[in-house]
Chains A and B, each alone.
Chain A
Amino acid sequence: MIGVAFRRLLSAIPVLLIVSLISFGLMRLIPGDPAAAIAGVSATPAQIEQLRRDLGLDEPIYLQLIDYYRGLAQGDLGRSLLLGTGVFAATMERLPVTIGLSLYAMVFTLLIGIASGIIAALRQNTWIDQAAMMFAMIGISVPNFFLGLLMIILFAVHLGWLPSGGYVPFSDDPVGWLRSLAMPAFSLALLQAGLLARITRSSMLEVLRQDYIRTARAKGLSQRKVVLKHALSNALIPIVTVVGIIVSLLLSGAVVTEALFSIPGMGQLLTQAVLNRDYPMVQGGLLLVTTFLVMVNITVDVLYAVLDPRVRYE
């Protein structure tokens, strides 16, 4: 297991190096004069000059790159032009909100996805199976912001059961947090739930065909025991591998969900940064979120090796 973790960490180094280079390159790829573009149309030449010096864009590119990596090594990702605070601090303030939302959505994803996948597999080729797969198809086809809008119309505008937006921190009021994020988390989860339902179903069907399941049935175990103890634990192994993909999809989806429901998370921070040409925030935030995602994927791979000993010897 330690071997797997070590190898995965090593292989992440070149990826993160290139990710950081791409983030570094972004601001410098702005066509024309980046400083003028960032300062905006109303800026005076003096202001543009000032900004160019502040961002270090007046230095030769290799010095900029050295400065950039020196900053990274010290945890200094620059200063947000819009907020005036450090990029790292701003991210650390907002990222937990997005992680909370993603975890909440993950609960919906796992509950709906795995349950409907198992039921569909056990009732293969019946109307229940077809209904579950139809549901999964709708789940992967309905855009999360459209689902969110429909839920706002129904649950906030017409029924008045849930707030149409806004965010209550968990530490202030856990119930308020659950309520404020119920619609965002559900609308964010449905796509992944649909994907997971399809994967669970086919993984479950694969396992149910194995000899050891027949043996378990033959020795007289109840259906419940066969499914929950013998089939499910093996069917879930391939599902672990898609957790990384699901987290990536959740973080991507959270961007638009946060904008829709006015949730002050990472997605909203970055969208605001983009709309206000706050490039230090964009490049730093992008780098931090991606690093976080790479770490999640490493954890998932290690977890996979723990769950499935066969992987360790590959």
Chain B
Amino acid sequence: MSEAVLDAEAIAHKREHPARAAVRRLLHHKLFMTGLLLFGVVAGIGIAAPWITDIDPQRLSMRNKFLPPDENWVFGTDNFGRSLWSRVVWGAQLSMIIGASVVALNAVFGTLIGAAAGYFRRLDNALMRVNDALMAFPAILLAIAVTSVLGPSTLNVILALSIVYIPRTARIVRSSVIVLREMEYVQAAVAAGAGHWRILRHHILPNAMAPMIVQLSFLFAYAVLSEATLSFLGVGAVPPTPTWGNIMAEGRDFLREAPWIITIPGVMLMITVMGLNLLGDGLRDVLDPRLRIQQ
């Protein structure tokens, strides 16, 4: 590409709204689009669950146990003759619900705590010490301990994973806010008599969003993965709830006779996590070039 063309492009971009420019660059980012496709397929399956399954994921049928995948049973059946297609599809829905809930709670509370710590210096020390302490625990161990205290259920898994990951999100928001607070345009707003709320809402937080959005896409992946891990260990949503981790935990005893029971949800899990990782890498390249992994 010649320099003249680059210049012309640069000028054209100047007029574009930054959000539009970001979307346009994302649409041309191959890895981001691959990630979006992978994640989109899983999310789509999860959303469409009621329409694309006709068998209750919990219906037992001992006559049909251990059937390998064929034209009648797309994903085969498990040790209780339950349709693995139904279970995996409903499991996708549960993974999406848990991932999205953890991300939403992180977006709200991570921003609140991070903004408070970064903007109000007096709160910083106290908030960040608690934050550091929560981050010092190995993630899965803390999640296990919290679910054990609250009792195993889908809602409590969401709460536990939020407690584990909100400190990490808050730290990222805080570090952007600390930098932005010292910017000249923020000082100008202070001088013009703007209140704290207005400064945070209009001047600081919109500019602190990029790193957080990147973080949230990776967080979605961690949340889905951690939920599967918790149910695999038997401390997540209670069986026979069809979660990928539960299905894999049950399939573990039948590795020899029915390897598809663990392979299919495992591959789904991997596709989801890889899709989100690619998506996150793409978002980081476009939204937060400072953190860009060199190409």
The interface of chain A, by Cβ under 8 A from chain B, is 14-16, 18-19, 22, 26-27, 29-31, 125, 137-138, 140-143, 145-146, 149-150, 152-153, 157, 198, 201-202, 205-206, 248, 251-253, 255-256, 259-260, 267, 270-271, 274-275, 277, 279, 282-283, 286, 289-290, 293-294
B270 adjacent to A18 (CB under 8 Å): no
* Residue on A nearest B139 in the bound complex, by CB: A252
A21 shortest CB reach to chain B, Å: 8
Report how far A15 CA is from B132 CA in the complex, Å.
Answer: 6
B33 within 8 A of A: no
B134 within 8 A of A: yes
**A-chain residues with CB within 8 Å of residue B256 when the two chains form the complex:** 157
A141 adjacent to B151 (CB under 8 Å): no
B133 adjacent to A282 (CB under 8 Å): no
Report how far A150 CA is from B260 CA in the complex, Å.
Answer: 11
A286 adjacent to B137 (CB under 8 Å): yes
Report how far A138 CA is from B278 CA in the complex, Å.
Answer: 10
Given contacts A29-B149, A146-B262, A294-B136, 13 further A-B contacts (CB under 8 A): A26-B149, A141-B221, A141-B274, A141-B277, A145-B232, A150-B266, A252-B138, A255-B140, A267-B141, A270-B144, A270-B145, A283-B145, A286-B145
Report how far A237 CA is from B7 CA in the complex, Å.
Answer: 38
A22 adjacent to B133 (CB under 8 Å): yes
How many residues of B are counted as interface, with CB atoms below 8 angstroms from the partner's CB atoms?
45
5 sampled A-B residue pairs with Cβ under 8 A? A14-B132, A149-B252, A206-B294, A248-B138, A279-B148
Summed over the interface, the residue pairs from A and B with CB atoms below 8 Å come to a total of: 132
| A interface, over-half SS | helix
B179 within 8 A of A: no
Report how far A202 CA is from B18 CA in the complex, Å.
Answer: 27
**B-chain residues with CB within 8 Å of residue A140 when the two chains form the complex:** 273, 277
B145 adjacent to A274 (CB under 8 Å): yes
**A-chain residues with CB within 8 Å of residue B252 when the two chains form the complex:** 149, 260
A25 shortest CB reach to chain B, Å: 9
B136 adjacent to A142 (CB under 8 Å): no
9 closest residue pairs by CB, A with B? A18-B133, A141-B274, A146-B266, A274-B148, A252-B138, A252-B140, A141-B273, A251-B138, A19-B133
B278 adjacent to A137 (CB under 8 Å): yes
Report how far A277 CA is from B132 CA in the complex, Å.
Answer: 27
* Residue on B nearest A286 in the bound complex, by CB: B145
Report how far A271 CA is from B234 CA in the complex, Å.
Answer: 9
B129 adjacent to A152 (CB under 8 Å): no
**B-chain residues with CB within 8 Å of residue A282 when the two chains form the complex:** 145, 148
**A-chain residues with CB within 8 Å of residue B155 when the two chains form the complex:** none
B1 shortest CB reach to chain A, Å: 16
B228 within 8 A of A: yes
B55 within 8 A of A: no
**A-chain residues with CB within 8 Å of residue B142 when the two chains form the complex:** 286
The interface of chain B, by Cβ under 8 A from chain A, is 129-130, 132-134, 136-142, 144-151, 221, 225, 228-229, 232-235, 248, 252, 255-256, 259, 262-263, 266, 269-270, 273-274, 277-278, 293-295
**A-chain residues with CB within 8 Å of residue B151 when the two chains form the complex:** 31
B270 adjacent to A143 (CB under 8 Å): yes
B129 adjacent to A202 (CB under 8 Å): no
B269 adjacent to A146 (CB under 8 Å): yes
A293 adjacent to B138 (CB under 8 Å): yes
**A-chain residues with CB within 8 Å of residue B293 when the two chains form the complex:** 198, 201-202
Report how far A140 CA is from B274 CA in the complex, Å.
Answer: 8
Report how far A251 CA is from B263 CA in the complex, Å.
Answer: 25
* Residue on B nearest A11 in the bound complex, by CB: B132
| B interface, over-half SS | helix
B138 adjacent to A289 (CB under 8 Å): yes
Report how far A41 CA is from B104 CA in the complex, Å.
Answer: 35
Q: Which of B129, B149, B229, B235 is A14 in contact with, Cβ under 8 Å?
A: B129
**B-chain residues with CB within 8 Å of residue A149 when the two chains form the complex:** 248, 252, 255, 262, 266
**B-chain residues with CB within 8 Å of residue A289 when the two chains form the complex:** 138, 141
Q: Which of B141, B150, B233, B235 is A286 in contact with, Cβ under 8 Å?
A: B141
Report how far A27 CA is from B150 CA in the complex, Å.
Answer: 10
* Residue on A nearest B132 in the bound complex, by CB: A15
Once A141-B277, A271-B235 are accepted as A-B contacts, the answer to whether A152 and B255 lie under 8 Å apart by CB is yes
A262 shortest CB reach to chain B, Å: 11
A19 adjacent to B136 (CB under 8 Å): yes
B217 shortest CB reach to chain A, Å: 13
A225 shortest CB reach to chain B, Å: 24
Report how far A16 CA is from B132 CA in the complex, Å.
Answer: 9
Q: Which of A137, A277, A279 is B274 in contact with, Cβ under 8 Å?
A: A137
**B-chain residues with CB within 8 Å of residue A202 when the two chains form the complex:** 293-294
A275 adjacent to B138 (CB under 8 Å): no
A256 adjacent to B136 (CB under 8 Å): no
**B-chain residues with CB within 8 Å of residue A27 when the two chains form the complex:** 149
* Residue on A nearest B269 in the bound complex, by CB: A143
B74 shortest CB reach to chain A, Å: 20
A157 adjacent to B255 (CB under 8 Å): yes
Q: Which of A125, A277, A290 is B137 in contact with, Cβ under 8 Å?
A: A290
Report how far A184 CA is from B136 CA in the complex, Å.
Answer: 24
Report how far A26 CA is from B145 CA in the complex, Å.
Answer: 8
B138 adjacent to A153 (CB under 8 Å): no
Which among A22, A140, A277, A286 has the greatest number of chain B C-beta atoms within 10 A? Answer: A22
* Residue on A nearest B274 in the bound complex, by CB: A141
A46 shortest CB reach to chain B, Å: 25
**B-chain residues with CB within 8 Å of residue A198 when the two chains form the complex:** 293
Which among A14, A141, A205 has the greatest number of chain B C-beta atoms within 10 A? Answer: A141
B274 shortest CB reach to chain A, Å: 4
